[in-house]
Amino acid sequence: MSGAIHVLNGPNLNRLGTREPEIYGATTLAEIEALCHEAAGPRALLFRQSNAEYQLIDWIHQAIDDNAAAIIINPAGLTFTSVPIMDALKMFRGTVIELHITNIHRREAVYHTSLVSKVVTAVIAGLGPQGYRTAVEAACRMTG
């Protein structure tokens, strides 16, 4: 499958670089986007962020309708609460990679149970911003 890779980012990730840098680091979301495009090479890649759950769901639906090859999603806080995002991801037939900048399993208990993990192809957590590069490279390899 050679369709586009959709990289979707959830709430508060637009604040990367200034939000709790001791936890999330100093890298901005714009820098992460550039890293993703570099990792994708000639592969089409859409990179988006929203603080609104419904917008992420609409973008998942768009990936379905566009026959995207892969979705890389960092649902942020919605990881642990959003049945609608989980349900939307279940409809996508391509590769889905759940991504977290931090290792959610080393954090407070509220971050230990991902609803999204139950329906994705793979999970990457704890690699910092470089996890995005790893996810894009993996998505490219997994989808041809």
Is 12 annotated among the ligand-binding residues? no
Is 87 annotated among the ligand-binding residues? yes
Closest CA to 128 of 105, 103, 108, 109: 103
Catalytic, out of 100, 105, 111, 112: 100
Contact assessment for residue 126 and residue 103, using Cβ atoms and an 8 Å cutoff: yes
3-state secondary structure of 121: coil
Annotation says 100 is catalytic: yes
Is 67 annotated among the ligand-binding residues? no
Catalytic, out of 24, 37, 111, 132: 24
Annotation says 24 is catalytic: yes
Is 102 annotated among the ligand-binding residues? yes
Give CA separation, 136 vs 33, 73, 106, 127, in Å: 11, 11, 24, 13
Annotated binding site: 74, 87, 101-102
Active site residues: 24, 100
Annotated binding site for substrate: 74, 87, 101-102
